[in-house]
Amino acid sequence: MDTEFIMVAKTMFGLEELLAKEIEELGGKEITILKRAVQFKGDMKLLYRANYCLRTALAILKPLQSFTARSDQELYDHVYKIEWEKYMNPDGTMYIDASVNSNIFKHSLYAAQKTKDAICDRFRKMFDVRPSIEKDYVDLKIDLHIYDNQVTISLNSSGESLHKRGYRQEVGSAPLNEVTAAGLIQLSGWQKDCNFYDPMCGSGTIAIEAAMYANNIPAQYYRKYFGFKKWSEFNAVDWKNEKEIADSKISEFDYEIWASDVSGSAIERADKNIRFAHLNHDINLFRAAIEDGKRPDGKTFVITNPPYGERMEVDDIIDLYQRIGDSLKQNFQDCTAFIISSDIFALKKIGLKPTRKIEVFNGNLECRLFKFEIYSGSKKAKYNIDNQEREQENNIE
């Protein structure tokens, strides 16, 4: 059996438990939930699998060394002693990602600079050559994490963030992060047992992530680049095997996935992305306003991400969210709807009582995901919330 080691999968606030569940399903052991991360144990094959399959991870780190540092010099000395020549060529490229929460090391950029100096000085002393610093597609991406005086140096096996799935050819003005989109789908509890619809789809991220999940398409099926491919210990045969096993689980989905938007240019962008992912036979994409009330027949899960107010007047935003609420009530009976927005005031103007409110992040933007159950028949009366009741709804946090 291959040697096992500890790994850390990074994620966004609120997605830790979902990620832990995904890791368990992939065979991770000794799983511990951390803040915006999950620690687990496994071998290199699991590292490949985790990179390829996890939908809610941003990066998979392989910790190299942990130590205490009480000064810049101690940080430098510890980093200098690491045998970096085992991990990269002297004339290679590298990048250091630093996250620092410490009274000793106040600036993450400065701590990263010290780390870089130590690595470069070691290479210069040994080989008379030093690696160069670049941002993208480097030979070695290093993660520096400092909490108080505790330092952890890890190798970032993903390289570029795993939200870069490789299918996004076109972006709109406010695209949803792919990891957030995948997280919303998991948070919603959609069991792939009914239709799915994003009626304000923008560049199509939520619908694409839904279609990938519905068809068991691995999260990084369209991505070519992974940091670990440049590691000296990279085993191309094991990587190919892991990929083939995951790809062999791709399956058909029995229900419908719809995506629409009022904007013609958004539909063009979504169309390019959906076609790139070869999902044009799986996603029914069309131009319409949510107010038009088109929807698939039968039970449907709606997850959507309306505008947050970028370049829109507040009055227009309130009016839009009220129209979204009206359309849900009139046209989406027997559906479950999830709406994500950073504009909590506008969310309350939807005029339906949320049955769940979840704190989530879209990148660095704090948002809420509101869940609405929309019933037909006698319960319909419940939604005749007049303006006065809408005002009362404003008090919900």
Ligand X SMILES: C[S@@+](CC[C@H](N)C(=O)[O-])C[C@H]1O[C@@H](n2cnc3c(N)ncnc32)[C@H](O)[C@@H]1O
Pair of tokens at residue 66 = 């942990």
Q: Which is nearer to ligand X, 155 or 302 (CB)?
A: 302
Q: Which is nearer to ligand X, 227 or 307 (CB)?
A: 307
User: Which of 117-125, 128-136, 197-205, 379-387 is the region at the interface with ligand X (rule: CB under 6 A)?
Assistant: 197-205
Phi, psi of 206 (to 5 degrees): -65, -45
Pair of tokens at residue 327 = 């359309």
Binds ligand X by CB under 6 A, chosen from 51, 56, 158, 203: 203
Q: Which is nearer to ligand X, 144 or 317 (CB)?
A: 317
Pair of tokens at residue 64 = 């190299």
Q: Which is nearer to ligand X, 93 or 273 (CB)?
A: 273
Collapsing DSSP to helix, strand or coil, 303 comes out as strand
The 140-147 sheet, strands edge to edge: 29-34, 37-42, 5-10, 59-68, 150-156, 140-147, 93-101, 132-133
Q: Does 174 bind ligand X (CB under 6 A)?
A: yes
Considering the complex, what minimum distance in angstroms separates the CB of residue 340 from ligand X? 8
Q: Which residue has tokens 């989530």?
A: 360
With CB atoms as reference, the residue minimizing the distance to ligand X is 202
Considering the complex, what minimum distance in angstroms separates the CB of residue 153 from ligand X? 34
| Summary count for the chain: helices (H), strands (E) | 11, 15
Beta-bridge partners for 67: 151
Q: Does 93 bind ligand X (CB under 6 A)?
A: no
Q: Would you give the binding string for ligand X spanning residues 108-147, x where CB under 6 A is met?
A: ----------------------------------------
Q: Which is nearer to ligand X, 185 or 266 (CB)?
A: 266
Question: How far is 228 from 295, CA to CA, in rounded Å?
Answer: 43
Question: How far is 372 from 355, CA to CA, in rounded Å?
Answer: 6
Q: Does 56 bind ligand X (CB under 6 A)?
A: no
User: Which of 22-30, 39-47, 149-157, 303-311 is the region at the interface with ligand X (rule: CB under 6 A)?
Assistant: 303-311
Considering the complex, what minimum distance in angstroms separates the CB of residue 13 from ligand X? 19
User: Which of 106-114, 237-245, 287-295, 369-377 is the region at the interface with ligand X (rule: CB under 6 A)?
Assistant: 287-295
Q: Does 176 bind ligand X (CB under 6 A)?
A: yes
Question: How far is 135 from 160, CA to CA, in rounded Å?
Answer: 9
Largest CA distance in the chain: 80
CB-count exposure of residue 67 (10 Å: 0-12, 13-18, 19+): middle
Considering the complex, what minimum distance in angstroms separates the CB of residue 336 from ligand X? 18
Collapsing DSSP to helix, strand or coil, 236 comes out as helix
Q: Does 185 bind ligand X (CB under 6 A)?
A: no
Helix (H) or strand (E) holding 259: strand 257-261
Q: Does 172 bind ligand X (CB under 6 A)?
A: yes
Q: Which is nearer to ligand X, 20 or 211 (CB)?
A: 211
Residues 304-343 that bind ligand X (CB under 6 A): 305-307, 320
Considering the complex, what minimum distance in angstroms separates the CB of residue 319 from ligand X? 10
Q: Which one, of 33, 39, 40, lies nearest residue 14 by Cα? A: 33
Length of the chain: 397
Question: How far is 369 from 184, CA to CA, in rounded Å?
Answer: 8
Binds ligand X by CB under 6 A, chosen from 175, 309, 325, 354: 175
Q: Does 290 bind ligand X (CB under 6 A)?
A: yes
Q: Which residue has tokens 């003005």?
A: 173
Q: Does 161 bind ligand X (CB under 6 A)?
A: no
Considering the complex, what minimum distance in angstroms separates the CB of residue 298 from ligand X? 21
**Applying CB under 6 A, what is the total number of residues that bind ligand X?**
21
Q: Which is nearer to ligand X, 57 or 303 (CB)?
A: 303
Residues 246-285 that bind ligand X (CB under 6 A): 261-263, 266
Q: Would you give the binding string for ligand X spanning residues 206-235, x where CB under 6 A is met?
A: x-----------------------------
DSSP line for 331-342: H-TTEEEEEEES
Considering the complex, what minimum distance in angstroms separates the CB of residue 57 from ligand X? 19
**Is there a contact between 397 and 370 (Cβ–Cβ < 8 Å)?**
no
The number of angstroms, rounded, from the C-alpha of 64 to the middle of its chain's C-alpha atoms is: 25
Question: How far is 155 from 385, CA to CA, in rounded Å?
Answer: 54
Q: Which residues bind ligand X (CB under 6 A)?
A: 172, 174-176, 199-200, 202-203, 205-206, 261-263, 266, 289-291, 305-307, 320
